């Protein structure tokens, strides 16, 4: 990915500035380097990120020219326009999901728009966990009592605790006396443990789904600074299909980029295993797996 980014940035400027001005003879000379069955439209379909890059590069240049030509496009105006761009969910959805622009896909959009559940509880540190165990069969339950807690000792043997007095929960209004027995055991009457939170009430709220900050930063590159009709303007951008095709000659072939879809007879061909610079040509199967062309 780093190699791709390193190449694509200068390539965008080179292709848009130079390719459109190529003479017919130059274009024909380049065409000799393409495979015989190369189709620029198919290559663009297999690698829509090349369209996205070209569109973003176009908008960068457009915005720079617009700011130079219109003194009303101030920094404050740009910020206001950007906020409108982000707030237009319907438009943002189209750009986000399109393989040729945002490239994130419809499934990721639906995931991003899923509401987030928030559980907020009011807590009070009112209980003290006593080492009082209720034994039922093989199960042991730790019992918590509301302070103040009283330990009742045997009237004749003051070293022996016979019961524990306290409120069993924060809603109780009556004090409970828990008499120790074979199934209710006080393991320690001196060390009663630490305070634990008592849940008073909980409220559930939902936050609306939202596009993540990194994704918004990327999508901001599709914003025209002087309009809210960004989607219409994006769709009207002329795509230099020859520049995208030229990408294969200059970069794609040496880096193992698939240039066409695999035929039925090639769907089981070995997947790409070469490293740059590659020596073979490749196709992409229906799942996007890059396979050798033999």
pLDDT in tens, 116-158: 999 998 877 665 656 677 888 888 877 777 777 888 899 999 8
pLDDT of residue 22: 47
**What pLDDT band is residue 13 in, cutting at 50, 70 and 90?**
very low
Whether the per-residue pLDDT at 7 is higher than 60: the answer is no
Instruction: Average the pLDDT over each of 63-77, 142-156, 183-197 and give the range with the smallest value.
Output: 183-197
Task: For residues 69-80, give the mean pLDDT.
Answer: 95
What is 196-228 written as a DSSP string?
EEEEEEEEEEEEPP---HHHHHHHGGG--TT-S
Rounded Cα distance between 235 and 98, Å, is 11
Alpha carbon 85 to its chain's center: 20
Nearby residues of 126 by Cβ (< 8 Å), 6 or more positions away: 146, 147, 170, 195, 198
């Amino acid at each position: 990915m780093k190699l791709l980014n390193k190449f694509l940035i200068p390539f965008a400027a080179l292709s848009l500035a130079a390719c459109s001005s190529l003479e017919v003879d130059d274009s024909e000379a380049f065409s000799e380097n393409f495979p015989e069955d190369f189709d620029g439209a198919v290559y663009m379909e297999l690698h829509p990120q090349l369209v996205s890059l070209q569109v973003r590069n176009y908008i960068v240049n457009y915005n720079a020219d617009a700011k130079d030509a219109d003194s009303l496009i101030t920094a404050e105006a740009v910020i206001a326009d950007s906020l409108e761009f982000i707030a237009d969910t319907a438009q943002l959805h189209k750009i986000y999901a399109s393989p040729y622009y945002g490239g994130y896909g419809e499934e990721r959009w639906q995931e991003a728009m899923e509401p987030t559940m928030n559980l907020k509880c009011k807590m009070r540190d009112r209980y003290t966990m006593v080492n009082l165990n209720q034994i039922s069969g093989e199960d042991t339950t730790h019992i918590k009592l509301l302070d103040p807690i009283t330990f009742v000792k045997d009237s004749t043997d003051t070293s022996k605790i016979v019961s524990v007095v306290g409120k069993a929960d924060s809603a109780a209004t009556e004090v409970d006396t828990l008499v120790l027995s074979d199934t209710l055991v006080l393991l320690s009457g001196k060390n009663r443990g630490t305070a634990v939170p008592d849940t008073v009430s909980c409220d559930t709220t939902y936050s609306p789904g939202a596009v993540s900050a990194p994704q918004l930063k990327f999508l901001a590159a599709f914003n025209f600074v002087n309009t809210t009709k960004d989607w219409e303007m994006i769709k009207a951008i002329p795509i230099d299909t020859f520049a995208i095709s030229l990408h294969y000659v200059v970069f794609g072939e040496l880096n193992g980029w698939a240039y066409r879809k695999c035929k039925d007879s090639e769907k089981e061909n070995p997947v790409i295993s070469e490293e740059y610079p590659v020596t073979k040509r490749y196709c992409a199967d229906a799942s996007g797996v890059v396979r050798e062309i033999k």
